[in-house]
């Protein structure tokens, strides 16, 4: 889905034994929605405004030639609506007739209609109020348990991550800064960026005091030499300005890219 001038410069994307970077566009189209699906950010911009919700759920099934009759596809679409706790009447509605939370659930229904192995949820709750946010995340969690799918949750909300995920990867300017279990990341964060992200979470007993991360993220086409975080890091050393830190495993399953730990 990367548009030019973006490109995949290296590495693999493995789904089971299949390297997705080696697939043709047509093969990849068949993998999308049936094996990997996506819950997009901002449901309002992702749904087709002139199609009824149920037709949008069926649309990807039609595209995949599953050999299902119309009645079977409607049955699957209804099952997907029920799975995300939407009334079946919603299937006959247009997106503008739904609330923000309902639209997001409709997007989840589209993404699970073919029981994919992996669901990529890109900030699925960013436009929702906190109560709806919780309900939507509980729905994703329940579906994940029921279908046995893996969920990759992308987001900036460390509090939400702490509640929902098992393993967490922290990225900065396109590079992995740290990877570990939620327990490891929150109790022993290794990378200064992770430490600062955690410190920036508001604390109930400390009302009105917010701690930000000074500076701005560098442009991806003009990254600083050495460690990409060196322009904002409070622990920056000379070596950080010219040598890229290696992404290393420091304790079992806990990885980081920072010169502070290399010694």
Q: Among 103, 227, 254, 255, which residue sits at the site for ligand SF4 (rule: CB under 6 A)?
A: 227
Q: Which part of the chain contacts ligand SF4 (CB under 6 A), choosing from 15-23, 136-144, 149-157, 254-262? A: 254-262
For ligand SF4, give the closer residue by CB, 173 or 182: 173
For ligand SF4, give the closer residue by CB, 125 or 230: 230
Distance CA 20, CA 22 (A): 5
Q: Among 84, 114, 245, 255, which residue sits at the site for ligand SF4 (rule: CB under 6 A)?
A: 245
How big is the CA angle at 48 (ends 32 and 121), to the nearest 5 degrees?
45
Distance CA 82, CA 201 (A): 35
How many Cα atoms sit within 13 Å of 203 on the Cβ side? 8
Residues 189-208, mask of contacts with ligand SF4 (x by CB under 6 A): --xx----------------
Q: Among 237, 249, 251, 253, which residue sits at the site for ligand SF4 (rule: CB under 6 A)?
A: 237
Burial 178-216 (b: 16+ CB within 10 A, else e): bbbebebbbeebbbbbbbbbbeeeeeeeeeeeeeebeee
Q: Among 235, 248, 249, 253, which residue sits at the site for ligand SF4 (rule: CB under 6 A)?
A: 235
For ligand SF4, give the closer residue by CB, 101 or 192: 192
Q: Which part of the chain contacts ligand SF4 (CB under 6 A), choosing from 43-51, 70-78, 156-164, 228-236? A: 228-236
Nearest in space to 228 (alpha carbons), one of 190, 158, 170, 174: 174
Q: Does 185 bind ligand SF4 (CB under 6 A)?
A: no
Distance CA 24, CA 91 (A): 33
Cβ neighbours of residue 223 closer than 8 Å, sequence gap 6 or more: 173, 174
CB-CB contact of 162 with 79 (8 Å): no
Q: Does 229 bind ligand SF4 (CB under 6 A)?
A: yes
For ligand SF4, give the closer residue by CB, 68 or 173: 173
CB-CB contact of 255 with 191 (8 Å): no
Site for ligand SF4 in 67-86 (CB under 6 A): none
Q: Does 51 bind ligand SF4 (CB under 6 A)?
A: no
Determine how β-strand 248-251 pairs with β-strand 254-256.
antiparallel
Q: Among 28, 44, 176, 236, which residue sits at the site for ligand SF4 (rule: CB under 6 A)?
A: 236
Instruction: Kindly list the residues in this chain that would bind ligand SF4 in the complex (CB under 6 A).
Output: 191-192, 227, 229-230, 233, 235-237, 240, 245, 258-260
């Amino acid at each position: 889905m990367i548009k030019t001038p973006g490109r995949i410069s290296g590495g693999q994307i493995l789904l089971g034994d299949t390297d997705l970077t080696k697939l043709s566009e047509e093969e990849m189209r068949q993998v999308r929605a049936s094996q990997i699906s996506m819950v997009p950010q901002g449901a309002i911009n992702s749904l087709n405004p002139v199609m009824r919700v149920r037709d949008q759920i069926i649309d990807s099934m039609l595209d995949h030639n599953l050999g299902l009759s119309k009645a079977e596809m409607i049955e699957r679409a209804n099952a997907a609506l029920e799975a995300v706790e939407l009334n079946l009447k919603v299937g006959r509605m247009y997106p503008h007739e739904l609330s923000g939370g309902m639209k997001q659930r409709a997007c989840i229904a589209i993404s699970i209609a073919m029981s994919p192995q992996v669901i990529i949820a890109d900030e699925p709750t960013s436009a929702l109020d906190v109560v709806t946010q919780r309900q939507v995340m509980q729905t994703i969690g329940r579906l994940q348990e029921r279908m046995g799918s893996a969920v990759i949750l992308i987001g900036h909300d460390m509090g939400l991550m702490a509640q929902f995920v098992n393993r967490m990867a922290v990225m900065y300017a396109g590079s992995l800064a740290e990877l570990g279990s939620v327990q490891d990341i929150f109790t022993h964060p290794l990378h200064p960026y992770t430490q600062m992200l955690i410190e920036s979470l508001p604390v109930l007993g400390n009302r009105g005091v917010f701690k930000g991360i000074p500076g701005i993220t560098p442009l991806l086409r003009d990254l600083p030499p050495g460690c990409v975080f060196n322009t904002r890091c409070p622990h920056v050393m000379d070596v950080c300005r010219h040598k890229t830190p290696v992404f290393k495993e420091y304790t079992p399953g806990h990885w980081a890219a920072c010169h502070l730990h290399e010694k």
